[in-house]
């Protein structure tokens, strides 16, 4: 056996052969390895460097960061940390979104943040496809962080279409990712309030969704003087472009380019329009289309029998019944860049012009067909967190979160009394109160008072030796500046009453 080992080692060491240890060496018997009391030779040889390491191992070593390198404490560009004060603001925003959804009878859902890349490349549009955070996972699958929620929702609906009872009214608040150029109110990750209605063909669905948007604006103190919602229809554009001679197969890419005309002049996209095969006359006419400002002008262009005009007219009529018609503006320039929209499209905007689009959505009846399914009526919107927070901040309309939500602070005045303070804190928590327990009983009272003030807690409960001997604790009212000794047995009912009063 030993000569065989030496021969193999010499061959490997000298490089005279590319054969592996499995070919050049006959594995020792289990008994031999056991008698030697050590790892069998091939494993020891590889572990000890007696052979060549794989490129993957060498690469892993080269990628290993030096312990002397200074860690970049900033999050990746375009992303955010949420410290407790940021989370309080986020929860405030989310609570309004959730309450609007509840009041309008929507059910919450969610999906994985990681999806198959093909889900977005199929129909989202070229711009979204170019902005994907996509990569190949360890199994060789092309995956992507979700840039939006609608395709995931479509996948979920299609997966259980036979068992779902229509109409569906669903909402979600997912985190979405897009690798795009950052501007004010635009980041590479954001949370987005999504509301969608499936199985309703008429404008009643769009009206309900617009009603939800307006309800949220009203909840946070915004009015129709602050915010407007531009409304248009892909069907309107289809009829107009058809009259201008734009071929049906060029409709979707033409709409994507028209969507850019809010930001750039016609000349900036003329080359792209020409690349679609559109004539100079047609391209010039596209600029004229944007001069249509009213529903009456639209009617004159499309005629009395236009289905698109009738649909929009019906929507504005329903909005009047809701009472939010003053929020709506017909605007033929609203296209929405996503290629899956098929009907009404809309965007919430800041009337002062300081901020980009606040929210947007529309009808997408054909989306399931891109996944091999049958058409199904659907409409929805997305509403990001970044722009609305910036807008409310600019208008000085954000609430002040001076407190953490903690109602009571409990502190033992000596380490020996800490177990007793635990029982006191537990009784307050059992009563429904938020109680912070000071874990270091050696802290000075001055620090405890400042700590209570920082948390914004109303009451400080001190567990002292003299008071505890007679079944009492000292309760300090931080708002009134008063204090009293309270029976321990009264703490629970007292705390429960305060919690109820505070709600």
Residues at the annotated binding site for L-histidine?
148-150, 178, 192, 196, 336, 340-341
Q: How would you classify the pairing of strands 168-172 and 189-198?
A: antiparallel
Query: What are the distances in angstroms from CA 474 to CA 134, 461, 462, 502?
Result: 59, 6, 5, 21
Contact assessment for residue 462 and residue 395, using Cβ atoms and an 8 Å cutoff: no
Q: Give the span between the Cα atoms of 338 and 138, in whole angstroms.
A: 30
Per DSSP, the residues of 117-144 read THHHHTTS-HHHHHT-EEEE-TTS-EEE
Contact assessment for residue 232 and residue 334, using Cβ atoms and an 8 Å cutoff: yes
Residue in the structure block whose two tokens are 């400080």: 460
| Residue 335: how many other CB atoms lie within 10 Å | 23
| Residue 311: how many other CB atoms lie within 10 Å | 18
Binding residues: 148-150, 178, 192, 196, 336, 340-341
287 upstream amide cis, omega within 30 of 0: no
Q: How far is CA 430 from the centre of its chain?
A: 34
Q: Which residues contact 278 (CB under 8 A, 6 or more apart)?
A: 246, 250, 254, 286
Q: Give the span between the Cα atoms of 336 and 234, in whole angstroms.
A: 9
Question: Count of H helices and E strands in the chain?
Answer: 21, 17
Contacts of range 80-84, beta carbons closer than 8 Å, 24 or more positions apart: 80/187, 80/189, 84/404
Q: How far is CA 333 from the centre of its chain?
A: 28
Q: Give the span between the Cα atoms of 41 and 56, in whole angstroms.
A: 23
Contact assessment for residue 447 and residue 457, using Cβ atoms and an 8 Å cutoff: no
Contact assessment for residue 318 and residue 203, using Cβ atoms and an 8 Å cutoff: yes
């Amino acid at each position: 056996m030993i000569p065989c080992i030496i021969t193999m080692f010499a061959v490997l060491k000298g490089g005279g052969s590319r054969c592996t240890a499995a070919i050049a060496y006959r594995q020792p018997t289990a008994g031999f390895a056991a008698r030697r009391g050590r790892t069998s030779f091939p494993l020891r040889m590889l572990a000890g460097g007696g052979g060549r390491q794989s490129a993957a191992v060498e690469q892993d070593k080269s990628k290993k960061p030096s312990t002397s390198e200074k860690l970049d404490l900033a999050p990746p560009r375009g992303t955010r940390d949420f410290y407790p004060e940021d989370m309080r603001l986020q929860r405030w925003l989310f609570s309004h979104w959730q309450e609007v959804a509840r009041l309008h009878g929507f059910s919450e859902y969610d999906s994985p943040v990681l999806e198959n890349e093909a889900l977005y490349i199929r129909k989202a549009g070229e711009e979204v496809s170019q902005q994907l955070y996509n990569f190949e996972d360890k199994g060789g699958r092309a995956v992507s962080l979700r840039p939006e929620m609608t395709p995931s929702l479509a996948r979920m609906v299609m997966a259980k279409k036979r068992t779902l009872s229509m109409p569906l009214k669903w909402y979600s608040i997912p985190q979405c990712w897009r690798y795009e150029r950052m501007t004010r109110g635009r980041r590479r990750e954001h949370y987005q309030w999504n509301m969608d209605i499936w199985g309703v063909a008429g404008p009643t669905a769009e009206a309900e969704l617009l009603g939800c948007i307006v309800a949220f604006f009203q909840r946070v103190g915004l009015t129709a003087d602050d915010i407007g919602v531009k409304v248009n229809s892909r069907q309107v554009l289809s009829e107009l472009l058809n009259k201008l001679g734009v071929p049906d197969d060029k409709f979707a890419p033409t709409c994507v380019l028209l969507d850019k005309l809010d930001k750039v002049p016609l000349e900036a996209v003329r080359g792209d329009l020409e690349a679609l095969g559109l004539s100079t006359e047609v391209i010039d006419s596209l600029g004229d289309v944007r001069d249509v400002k009213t529903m009456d002008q639209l009617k004159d262009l499309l005629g009395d029998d236009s289905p698109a005009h009738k649909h929009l007219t019906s929507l504005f009529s329903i909005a009047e019944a809701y009472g939010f018609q003053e929020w709506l503006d017909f605007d033929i320039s609203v296209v929405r860049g996503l290629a899956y929209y098929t009907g009404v499209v809309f965007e919430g905007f800041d009337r002062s012009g300081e901020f980009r689009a606040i929210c947007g959505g529309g009808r997408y009846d054909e989306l399931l067909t891109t996944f091999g399914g049958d058409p199904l009526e659907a409409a929805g919107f997305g509403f990001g967190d970044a722009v609305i927070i910036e807008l409310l901040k600019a208008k000085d309309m954000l609430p002040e979160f001076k407190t953490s939500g903690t109602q009571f602070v409990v502190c033992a005045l000596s380490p020996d009394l800490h177990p007793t303070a635990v029982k006191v804190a537990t009784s307050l928590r059992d009563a429904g109160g938020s109680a912070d327990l000071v874990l270091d009983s050696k802290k000075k009272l001055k620090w405890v008072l400042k700590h209570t003030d920082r948390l914004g807690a109303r009451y400080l409960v001190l567990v002292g030796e003299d008071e505890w001997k007679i079944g009492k604790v000292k309760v300090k009212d931080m708002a009134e500046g008063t204090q009293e000794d309270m029976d321990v047995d009264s703490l629970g009912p007292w705390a429960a009453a305060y919690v109820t009063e505070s709600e």
